[in-house]
Chain A
């Protein structure tokens, strides 16, 4: 029996590696495109920040003569380039320059500002920003920070005149210390991305092999020849199932490897973190991760195979597999952005969700034995059910000749 299962497996693998679509999904996309997709966002952000830092935003100060001390402080900081304008300057014209990006901030200082400060009365300063542009928002932020620093100096002087300490205004001093180990930070980073890739690529990786093994065989009319051989249907399905699982598992492993290298090695260099961050996986954690992934890949492969055999054509199978892809993608995307911790034990019975949770917990070093065991048990049961469905589809004449 094993020799026949092996023959089907080898034939499917041979067919798969000669199929450009499978090679693309199994090797090229995980190794090349996914890391590029992972790194392109941070890379662009860093480039933009560098570009923002290189060019000092320009602020037009209308009525600069009303508060020369503040204007001087801003100029001395070098964080904003100041264009001094007299009171009564044409504000609409300045706003037009702001829209065009020639200016990044307009500040209007009122007449008599110095007198009001001396009288310890508030001074109303108007600022105009184009909040939709990063540079203008940044200019406003810098201006507020410098204004705050100037305000602190004034308040300090006022308190000193009254013989009071500045500490009067600061009853609390907060000293924060982050005890999160670097490994955990790395785990969080991987825990956000890797589970998503695992579940999505478990479907995408072996998609074409699964479609080809069922609907593809129907379209080529080779399925009828195959079932005329003296091999029980369960052995034929087992060989095909092994082939789809192999392709999916290789794709998932390649994806995890390339994503890990991207996130832990390339990303720190792009964002300027010089010390290498690493994940500390225990042997148990690694075993749980691999077992969960392998069973999930098996489950998805069996479901895809059943869908593929049931389909009349390659196109129909593609539609079913795409629906399956979305079905696993939504919970994966949800969990990617939600920090779900301490989920109830029964949630580990639900396929996809349990894989996402276990992968994340293992990578963050927070996995407990009970959820992992419930997950593995649940996946075994679901896998057996899906495999049985695939065998049923493969041995049912109405399904086989549904063309």
Chain B
């Protein structure tokens, strides 16, 4: 599970994430939704331990992100916005490399690679160089990489951005199957329909602050909105108004 406690991040004295708190339970999918520059990626990077929080902390899979970053990484699967694969390596070589870095090896790793490639429909491309892959294939391979070590927690940063309908559907299926497998899934998105469909709970983040957190229905009900999109627009406009009043 993930338990975020008053997480803050500053860049050169400018606050980007302002003391946010939320949690993701095992077998639950939580969507972090917000406009561009809201602090979604920074939050996910702090939880993935690639950025160090300025204040506050989080417990991920039972480990503190500040005190035990290596243990956190060993139990978390991360998919950044860009798949970041090695183009000159084949699909199997990419997965083998990350598997080895996660402490796997031998026949067990080879079995896991075959299993994941088959699950994501990439078995035929096992020995194909990633340079030759389509965007959708790359995203699937990046998902396989994220779960090569069978993590308890998944952190996905805008996993369906730029994908066609079929590839998006494969990613959504992957998230739903991960929930069924008992993983805690946190993903960021600005596709509200997708978040409404997939998430058990959503957190709306605007200007580095969480404005609303709960089930999509609760979030809508709290501001009297009919859809998640209306609730989202309500919070974005409200915060924009506050900022302009402050500047004015």
Contacts and interface: CB of A to CB of B under 8 A. Distances in A.
Interface of A: 3-4, 7-8, 11, 14-15, 18-19, 220-232, 397, 400-401
A220 B84 contact: yes
A229 B87 contact: no
Query: Main secondary structure on chain B at its contact with chain A?
Result: loop
Interface of B: 45, 48-52, 70-71, 73-74, 76, 78, 80-89, 93, 97-98, 100-103, 105, 142, 145
Given A225-B78, A228-B73, A229-B102, 11 more contacts: A4-B100, A7-B97, A8-B101, A14-B88, A14-B93, A15-B86, A221-B83, A222-B84, A228-B50, A228-B80, A397-B51
Given A11-B86, A15-B88, A220-B87, A230 B48 contact: no
Contacts of B142: 225
A24 to B, nearest CB: 15
Contacts of A397: 50-52
A7 B95 CA distance: 12
B80 A3 contact: no
Contacts of B87: 220
A7 B88 contact: no
Contacts of A3: 100, 103, 105
B101 A222 contact: no
A231 B70 CA distance: 7
Task: Give the most central of A11, A14, A401: most B CB within 10 Å.
Answer: A11
Nearest to A400: B50
A228 B48 contact: yes
A228 B102 contact: no
A276 to B, nearest CB: 44
A278 to B, nearest CB: 42
A225 B145 contact: yes
A15 B102 contact: no
B101 A7 contact: yes
B73 A229 contact: yes
B100 A224 contact: no
A15 B89 contact: yes
Nearest to B75: A230
Nearest to A15: B88
A18 B131 CA distance: 12
Nearest to B71: A230
